[in-house]
Structure 1
């Protein structure tokens, strides 16, 4: 499973650890959904490999907010991410953020959940953005969606 965030926030860029901002719910949701047996800290991201998980971003440029990215950056990021997936061949690519997925892959109708798109043999699933700014999803409802992906990956 390869998780892809949108782009590094400023704290992530400064520390080198994905989803490093304290209000980001990625790490708690990853644990609540059963992907990890305990709550990992961003500085422990290297432990993901032991669980068969990887982590990357759609766009490499760090910003304070994802809405600072241009459509061109998203499209180029989507192209580069697809190339990375084709090379590494994870069973699943999980893009964290439906708007980022829609823009990067030109799929305006995409919703959270499994996608029809495949990249090589890799299936694609869109997850909600765990940023604290995404008030539409609680940690509990996000964990349910992450768990749906985990269950699908087991079959």
Structure 2
């Protein structure tokens, strides 16, 4: 399955639910041609150019990480993932150890499962549920509409733009 692409001190860790079958088969995040993840990163200046899925390994060098909420070895559409495969505690360990500026869930489902509550797209107030205890209060939370082609009719661009604006400000403050 897909390895986590993470490093200490990242600006943002993107967390999906689980790789789709095509991503798992190709060995790269968001590899389905119908998925708009890479286009959205470029459109909102989260990355300096449009990366291809095969370039996902470049993300940590750009201050961005990739992981999934499901245990490793699990792939498919969310409805196909066994309920016992979700591992919010693994994400929590990543956040505690790596101390990113933000976690950005790439679907409402990923956020709901990780935070243990109903969510809406946009910047959240704080981590909650299994992720809330301990020293994570300074990690910003973004809940992004899924870039998957399957979710196209429910898609809203504004939360992605909000993340891009937050990241631009963070990068400017560090200059």
Tell me which interval the TM-score lies in, with the shorter structure as reference length: 0.7 to 0.9
Secondary structure of the corresponding residue to residue 103 of structure 2 = strand
Q: Per-residue displacement from partner, 1:109-145 (whole Å, max 9, x unpaired)? A: x10111222351311111111110002345xx43x32
2:165 to 128, 132, 151: 151
Equivalent runs, 1:1-155 vs 2, <5 Å: 1-59=12-70, 60-74=72-86, 77-108=87-118, 110-118=119-127, 120=136, 121-138=138-155, 141-142=156-157, 144-153=158-167, 154-155=169-170
The answer to whether the Cα contact below 8 Å between 2:74 and 2:81 also exists between their aligned partners in 1 is no
Q: What is the CA-CA distance between 1:7 and the residue it aligns to?
A: 0.5
Can you give the 5+ residue segments of structure 2 that lack an aligned partner in the other structure?
A: 1-11, 171-175
| Alignment-derived partner of residue 9 in structure 2 | none
From the two aligned structures, give the one with the greater strand fraction. Answer: 1
Whether the 8 Å CA contact 1:24–1:131 is kept in 2: the answer is yes
1:29-52 Cα distance to aligned partner (Å, 9 max, x none): 111111112111000112222321
TM-score by length of 2: 0.77
The 2-side partners of 1:90 and 1:35 are apart by 15
Contact 2:126–2:141 (CA under 8 A) maintained in structure 1: yes
Task: Provide the secondary structure at the position in 2 that maps to 1:114.
Answer: strand
Unaligned runs of 5+ in 1: none
Distance in 2 separating the partners of 1:19 and 1:116: 27
Q: Distance in 2 between matches of 1:55 and 1:111?
A: 21
Q: How many residues align?
A: 149
TM-score, normalised with respect to structure 1 = 0.86
- Deviation, structure 1 residue 78: 1.3
| Structure 1 segments (4+ residues) deviating >6 Å | none
